[in-house]
């Protein structure tokens, strides 16, 4: 599968109606020879998981090394894991993953689709919300890879943002996703002399605008087919079962989202089923597993299936290649006939509506947005 996404249109970048920077002597309340300072603006930083800089071995190794070294992602003995990661995994996995990324790579911009889409989301949010408050500066970053969280927080501060809203792009909180974004942001703040005030957007598993957007995307996508699926899977990224047992609320958030979407659609429970994908290693993860469910349903006689991934706000390797490629192949190989992947909300009007709703809610008291 090849994803050639054209460059998104460049929306106008709203300019502040007041100067954001005051040099020494430029304002009556600053003494002569005072260092130039920038202040008075509000930053919004949306952050997604990340993407490698290329599909070659070394780009993939850097990306996987950073990702799999995160202690919130892999909670095992550090000495043992260091050996497994550096001696075994990073000597083999980069080649295989590079080939997977190559099937979805945006060759026109020479970047992964997650970077293309996240950039477009930030640009469209700026076009949507910027005219409502000229203090807003909306930017984007990746937890792993580039642009880094630290570099964008620094850029926002230099642009005069003394208040920043951090928006981890995960509707359902998990320690391995939302929390690690916060860790990295606070790590960046630890090195700053003048820290901006930081807010973190809360997750939105039951946000009405989000539930409506997911349900509408299902209805719209299925309406374009000349067949009707017998079952639709709502596939969420999995986490090790041990993390759930230690108190991670992710499992419950996913089930709540799936239930609300099903209720909005008016479907019976057997029509929309929840599964978990992307497990890694030998430990038990949250079940039911997506790939095993797809295989079992095909073997049981199900001929028509659709899959949506509500926990992802943008299409990436786990949706385009794992669901649209690997799981479609599993379904067909085991007797299934028609398989349809429903895209993520991405930078669609519905997707931007959801993110704008979250940002408006979280900026209350800082900015009055419509």
Express each pLDDT in 122-143 by its tens digit: 999 999 999 999 999 999 999 9
Decide if 156 contacts 141 (C-beta within 8 A).
no
Domain limits, the chain: 36-203+350-362, 208-342
Is pLDDT of 25 > 80?
Answer: no
pLDDT at residue number 12: 41
DSSP secondary structure, 97-114, as one string: HHHHHHTT-BTTTTB-HH
Averaged pLDDT, 302-312: 98
Between 166 and 11, name the one with better pLDDT. Answer: 166
- In the CATH hierarchy, which fold is given to the domain comprising 36-203+350-362? Rossmann fold (3.40.50)
pLDDT confidence tier of residue 35, bands split at 50, 70 and 90: confident
Is pLDDT of 30 > 80?
Answer: no
d(CA 293, CA 275): 8
d(CA 7, CA 108): 8
pLDDT confidence tier of residue 36, bands split at 50, 70 and 90: confident
Averaged pLDDT, 321-326: 98
Beta strands in 238-357 (DSSP E): 272-277, 304-308, 338-342
pLDDT at residue number 319: 98
Is pLDDT of 54 > 50?
Answer: yes
pLDDT at residue number 273: 98
Mean pLDDT in the chain? 92
pLDDT confidence tier of residue 31, bands split at 50, 70 and 90: confident
d(CA 265, CA 269): 11
pLDDT at residue number 27: 53
d(CA 309, CA 307): 7
Is pLDDT of 9 > 80?
Answer: no
Decide if 167 contacts 362 (C-beta within 8 A).
yes
Tell me, what DSSP letter sits at residue 8?
Answer: P
Is pLDDT of 158 > 80?
Answer: yes
Give the distance, in angstroms, between the CA of residue 191 and the centroid of all CA atoms in the same chain. 26
Least confident residue range of 2-6, 72-76, 135-139, 144-148: 2-6
- Decide if 36-203+350-362 and 208-342 have a common fold: yes
**What is the dotted CATH code of the domain comprising 208-342?**
3.40.50.1400
pLDDT confidence tier of residue 37, bands split at 50, 70 and 90: confident
Q: Is 318 annotated as a binding residue?
A: yes
The continuous run of DSSP H or E covering 144 comes out as: strand 136-145
Averaged pLDDT, 83-94: 94
pLDDT at residue number 17: 39
Between 134 and 11, name the one with better pLDDT. Answer: 134
Q: Is 251 annotated as a binding residue?
A: no
Is pLDDT of 14 > 60?
Answer: no
pLDDT at residue number 28: 57
């Amino acid at each position: 599968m090849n994803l050639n996404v054209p460059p998104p249109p460049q929306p106008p970048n709203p300019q502040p109606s007041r100067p954001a920077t005051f040099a020494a002597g430029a304002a009556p309340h600053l003494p002569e020879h005072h260092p130039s300072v920038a202040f008075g603006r509000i930053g919004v930083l949306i952050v997604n998981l990340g993407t490698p800089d290329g599909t070659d071995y070394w780009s993939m190794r850097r990306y996987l090394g950073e990702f799999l070294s995160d202690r919130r992602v892999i909670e095992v003995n550090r000495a043992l894991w260091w050996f497994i990661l550096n001696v075994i995994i990073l000597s083999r996995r980069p080649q295989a993953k590079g080939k997977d990324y190559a099937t979805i790579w945006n060759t026109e911009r020479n970047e992964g689709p997650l970077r293309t889409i996240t950039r477009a989301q930030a640009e469209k949010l700026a076009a949507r919300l910027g005219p409502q408050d000229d203090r807003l500066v909306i930017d984007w970053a990746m937890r792993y890879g580039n642009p880094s969280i630290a570099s964008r927080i620094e850029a926002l501060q230099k642009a005069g943002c003394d208040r920043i809203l951090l928006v981890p792009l995960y509707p359902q909180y998990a320690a391995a996703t939302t929390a690690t974004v916060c860790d990295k942001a606070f790590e960046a703040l630890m090195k700053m002399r003048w820290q901006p005030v930081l807010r973190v957007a809360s997750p939105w598993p039951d946000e009405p605008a989000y539930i409506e957007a997911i349900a509408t995307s299902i209805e719209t996508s299925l309406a374009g087919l000349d067949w009707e699926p017998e079952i639709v899977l709502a596939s969420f990224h999995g986490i090790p079962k041990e993390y759930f047992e230690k108190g991670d609320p992710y499992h419950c958030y996913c089930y709540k989202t799936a239930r609300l979407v099903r209720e909005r659609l008016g479907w019976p429970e057997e029509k929309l089923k929840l599964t978990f994908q992307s497990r890694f290693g030998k430990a038990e993860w949250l079940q039911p597993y997506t790939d095993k469910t797809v295989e079992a349903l095909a073997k049981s006689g199900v001929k028509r299936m659709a899959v949506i991934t509500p926990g992802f706000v943008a299409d990436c390797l786990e949706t385009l290649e794992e669901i649209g490629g690997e799981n479609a192949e599993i379904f067909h190989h085991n007797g299934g006939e028609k398989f349809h992947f429903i895209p993520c909300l991405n930078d669609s009007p519905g997707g931007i509506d959801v993110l704008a709703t979250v940002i408006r809610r979280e900026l209350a008291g800082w900015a009055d947005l419509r």
